Amino acid sequence: QVQLAESGGGSVQAGGSLKLSCAVYGPTGSTICMGWFRQTPGKEREAVARIWGLERTTYTDSVKGRFTISRDNSTKKTLYLQMDTLKEEDTAMYYCAAGTLSTADCATATFGAFRTWGQGTQVSIFS
């Protein structure tokens, strides 16, 4: 059974950068589609970025050009989210997720489509 563990969150000033990591424990067969989500109190968990296949990716509009999702291709054991030019509205709990979704489904998958989740890491941006 796959388990995920995020790290790298913290508190940074607006305009700064953070890099989140998500360690994958267990077999990677169920991590064909992986993603980063974020959630603030009272709001639904939002997809930030997804990755599948030969490094195909999608991003929510608000982070395009600022965030980059990637993973360690040699082992598929670590997922990353490089976050640059951070804004106060990026403040949230960030989660990584994994699922055995088809490539077509992964591109637009919402939180309900992913079966495996990490515990989350808090990102706080201040002005």
Query: Over the stretch 30-68, which tens digit does the pLDDT of each residue have?
Result: 678 999 999 999 999 999 999 998 889 999 999 999 999
- Nearest CA to 120 among 2, 37, 49, 34? 37
Query: Over the stretch 80-119, which tens digit does the pLDDT of each residue have?
Result: 999 999 999 999 999 999 999 888 899 999 999 999 999 9
Amino acid letter, 46:
E
